[in-house]
Amino acid sequence: MPTVVFVRHAQSEYNAARVIQGQIDCPLDDVGRAQIARAAPVVARHHADARAVYASDLARARDTARAIARAIGTRPIIEDARVRERHLGALQGMPARDVSRAAPEARAAWKSRDMDARVPGGGETYRELDARVRSFFRSLIAEYEDGDKVICVTHGGVLGWLRRRGANGDEKKLCAMRRGVGNLAECVVRVNAADDGAWRCAYETWACGKFLEETALAADDV
């Protein structure tokens, strides 16, 4: 199984304002750009052996990944829409503080554990999110050998699903896994996809903030 070093993107303008992003292509803010300037060389020191750097095709992840790839000296990043943030429909662009009052039904769909719950306004179900993440894993397994390492810069919603969907309860406890993944925090997993379409992860590190002295935000929901 290849090892995937998932890194959440640096702080965006919407992160700082606590506005729900989903798939809105919001840029990094000044804090985020300073974060990647500090963190990219640290990522390179820890993961100089990475074979490739993947990224969501959204700018906040793509720009974070480019800085990491430059620091490591790998080939250009590989953009992959399968690891972009979950589409949150009508909630996208809404201040988080307003969601419960202004859109209770949409919030309920967003927070639901129902695999087929869809946020109104074109939102994505967990089943759809799961399918594209599983497809991404299968591509890595086909491309890389056991022991190979890749870096993937993604989003809090994807990482939250990764935490929930991986069924290794004991490993979660050993990693002291928490739901919130801060900006530029690291989650290291070994991935496997079964013939029946299921997938599982062996967790090595979760929500580790070693690339920065501290992460700007801890909540993965925004």
Q: Which amino acid is at 77?
A: I
Question: Model confidence over 83-92: pLDDT tens digits?
Answer: 999 999 999 9
Architecture of domain 3-88+126-208: 3-Layer(aba) Sandwich (3.40)
177, pLDDT greater than 70: no
13 an active-site residue? no
Residue-level pLDDT at 220? 42
Mean pLDDT value across residues 40-54: 96
Residue-level pLDDT at 199? 63
- Domain residue extents for the chain: 3-88+126-208
Cα four-point dihedral sign 18, 35, 218, 116: positive
Distinct helix (H) and strand (E) counts, the chain: 8, 6
Q: Token pair of 39, please?
A: 């963190």
Residue of 9, 47, 87, 155 marked active site: 9
Full DSSP string of 108-173: HHHH---TT---TTTPPPHHHHHHHHHHHHHHHHHHS-TT-EEEEEE-HHHHHHHHHH---HHHHH
Mean pLDDT value across residues 7-30: 97
User: What does pTM read for this prediction?
Assistant: 0.90
Residue of 13, 46, 85, 204 marked active site: 85
9 an active-site residue? yes
**CA-to-CA distance for 40 and 36, rounded, in angstroms?**
5
